[in-house]
Amino acid sequence: MAEKRENWGSKLGLILAMAGNAVGLGNFWRYPYQAAKNGGGAFMVPYFAALILLGIPLMLVEWNQGRYGGKYGHGTLGPMVYLQAREGVNPRVARILGGLAGALALGVTVLLNSYYNHIIGWTLGYAFESATGGYMDKSVSTGAYFVNYIQSPSKVLVFWLIALAVLGFAVMRGIQKGIEAWAKFMMPTIYIFGIILIIRTLTLGAPVKPEWTPIAGLDFIWSPRWQDLNWQAALAAAGQIFFTLSLGMGIIQNYASYLKPDDDIVLSGFATISLNELAEVVLGGTIAIPIAYTFLGPEGLGAGVGLSFIALPNIFRQMAGGQIFGTFWFLLLYFAGFTSAIAMYNYLVALLEEEAGVPRKVGSVAVFVIYIIFGLPVALEPILTKTADLAYLTELDNWVGSYLLVVLGLLEVMVTGWLMGAKGLEEINKGGYWKISKTFYSVFIQAVTPITIIILLFFSTKDYIKAGYFKAIPSFVENSPALIPWVNFARIVMFTVLIVGFVQAYRNIGKK
Ligand code: PHE
Ligand code: NA
């Protein structure tokens, strides 16, 4: 390592950057429909259980892994996992574990971003559409408007490229002047926009039907429908905890690698979790669902992309001040997505910088190009197939957006808890404003957390088999032959990235 690694400029900057990393589209777009679909208030039970059993312990493990790796000049998972694993196993096995971790983290950072960046582009595009009144014309349905948007190269490609360019520009400036500075501006803005939107939501009244009120909408996601509580809901809750806290992706570690060796971990990790949960359960839960309920009733709480990009625009065009509130909503999504994507972007730049000696500026441009190449299929599918189906995106999301996160999480916690053993506890507590007890460490990090993840993986795997994701032609495209090549292509890309990731990490570790 020729150059000295950068550090965070201030505690506040670090916490806001970490919160920015965690607070993302997951909070505002993914969480509401997960909760609505999986039992409303009953979802909260597995959700908070997963937060305690998985979220908190893993967050501490990841901060610790990152700070540990940073001490040796590494911001990526391969070497980090290797360095910790070799405390407990021989270097050969440690190298293989490092290779696996590096492969999974590369898979997530490259592939998850190939579609996440698109969604960020859409949010920016829709902020623009809202501000300029694009979808306000009631003669076109907002569903048709959205399909037209994603099939229109001039819109979809332009906003995607702008979003990517701004990200690249920010990362190029480094940790303090880039990431930290943007987080300090964007994170407070998210909470302010969120509060404004909540106030607007709660004062909507009952414009459509007397029983459709924002409070009834809140009641809908908070009152437990116990009959909807099942294994599926528990898996969804655990998956949401991984996704929303950015766990199992390698990016919390990457940010933590810029800590100084004696910087606090435990309190800072809890602060990150608290800020994310505030943005998720309070802001995320109080905007989209109650608005949609007020205008569309319980039937209107459709899942996924539709809620943010179709149902809500349909409401903004009916509601007083809709153009302004629509702009706030999509800017909030844009900022949330941006401050998460920047972490992934930085992961890849750090990889090039540290493992291949590529200067940060050049690396930032290289990652821009990589993202365009890997993101192109996502953009082209709806344009070429002339449908709104996003099979390529869906296939990737099924694996890198959920399943592989859990696999990587398991590897991480086993390496710290089992292979580092008592030294893991010592490392986590070093320099801490708060410290965790030996009991917490041995009960959670060494036992409950890894065992829970193993159980989770077992049931997820069963679920995936049942849903037909393992089949040569996955069930979700069985009846649409035009989409099959897109799924196959996604699989080829995914395997290639994972193999390259393994070889890269394995060989680089060997050099040290
Ligand atoms: N925690 C992020 C969220 O809630 C997840 C994420 C981070 C996704 C970085 C992509 C990139 O949205
Ligand atoms: Na989040």
Beta carbons of 65 and 256 less than 8 angstroms apart: yes
CA distance 267 to 277: 15
Give percent above pLDDT 90 in the chain.
79
pLDDT tens digits, one per residue of 156-177: 999 999 999 999 999 999 999 9
pLDDT tens digits, one per residue of 236-294: 999 999 999 999 999 999 999 999 999 999 999 999 999 999 999 999 999 988 988 89
Give, using CA atoms, the residue closest to atom 8 of ligand 1: 340
Q: Averaged over 368-389, what is the pLDDT?
A: 90
Report whether pLDDT(298) > 70.
yes
Tell me how far the alpha carbon of residue 246 lies from the centroid of ligand 1, in angstroms.
Answer: 5
The pTM score is: 0.95
What sign results for the dihedral spanned by CA atoms 467, 469, 474, 476?
positive
Ligand nearest to the CA of 113: 1
Give percent above pLDDT 70 in the chain.
98
CA distance 155 to 379: 11
pLDDT at 304: 63
Per the document, the length of the chain is 512
Mean per-residue pLDDT of the chain: 94
CA distance 345 to 101: 18
Q: Which atom of ligand 1 is nearest to the CA of 401?
A: 8
Q: Is 243 in the pocket of ligand 1 (CB under 6 A)?
A: yes
pLDDT at 351: 98
**CB-proximal residues (5 Å) to ion ligand 2:** 22, 24, 26-27, 244, 276
Ligand nearest to the CA of 118: 1
Q: Averaged over 282-309, what is the pLDDT?
A: 82
Tell me how far the alpha carbon of residue 321 lies from the centroid of ligand 2, in angstroms.
Answer: 28
pLDDT at 2: 42
Tell me how far the alpha carbon of residue 511 lies from the centroid of ligand 2, in angstroms.
Answer: 36
Q: Is 111 in the pocket of ligand 1 (CB under 6 A)?
A: no
Beta carbons of 450 and 95 less than 8 angstroms apart: no
Beta carbons of 329 and 287 less than 8 angstroms apart: yes
176 CB neighbour count, 10 Å cutoff: 16
- Label residue 72 exposed, middle or buried (CB < 10 Å: 0-12, 13-18, 19+): middle
The separation between the first and the last C-alpha atoms of the chain, rounded to the nearest angstrom, is 11
Nearest to 470 by CA among 455, 482, 460, 456: 460
Report whether pLDDT(510) > 80.
no
Q: Which residue has the higher pLDDT, 182 or 298?
A: 182
Within 8 A by CB and 6+ apart from 224, the residues are 39, 40, 41, 42, 44, 45
DSSP letter (8 states) at residue 109:
I
